[in-house]
Amino acid sequence: MSEQSPLNCQSTKMKNAITWMAENLQNNPEKPRHTIVQDAELRFDLTPLECEFLNKHFAKATA
């Protein structure tokens, strides 16, 4: 991870968003990942950089 990664900061909002997304992905496997990511971005009032990070790393399902 680079020094500029949102995960390197002490952002409680980002940590809470990732935890919330993980729980929702587990409890709602039928719900599209990008929808859960968008919901987290709004729910936790994330910055544009944090939103970009989530979209890049979580919005698409990995094989």
pTM of the model: 0.77
Residue 60, pLDDT score: 79
Distant-in-sequence contacts of 46-55, Cβ < 8 A, 24+ apart: 46/13, 46/14, 46/17, 47/6, 49/4, 49/6, 50/6, 50/11, 50/13, 50/14, 50/17, 53/5, 53/6, 53/7, 54/17, 54/18, 54/21
**pLDDT tens per residue, range 44-60:** 999 999 999 999 999 87
Measured distance CA(51)–CA(49) in Å, rounded = 5
**pLDDT tens per residue, range 8-57:** 556 899 999 999 999 999 999 999 999 999 999 999 999 999 999 999 99
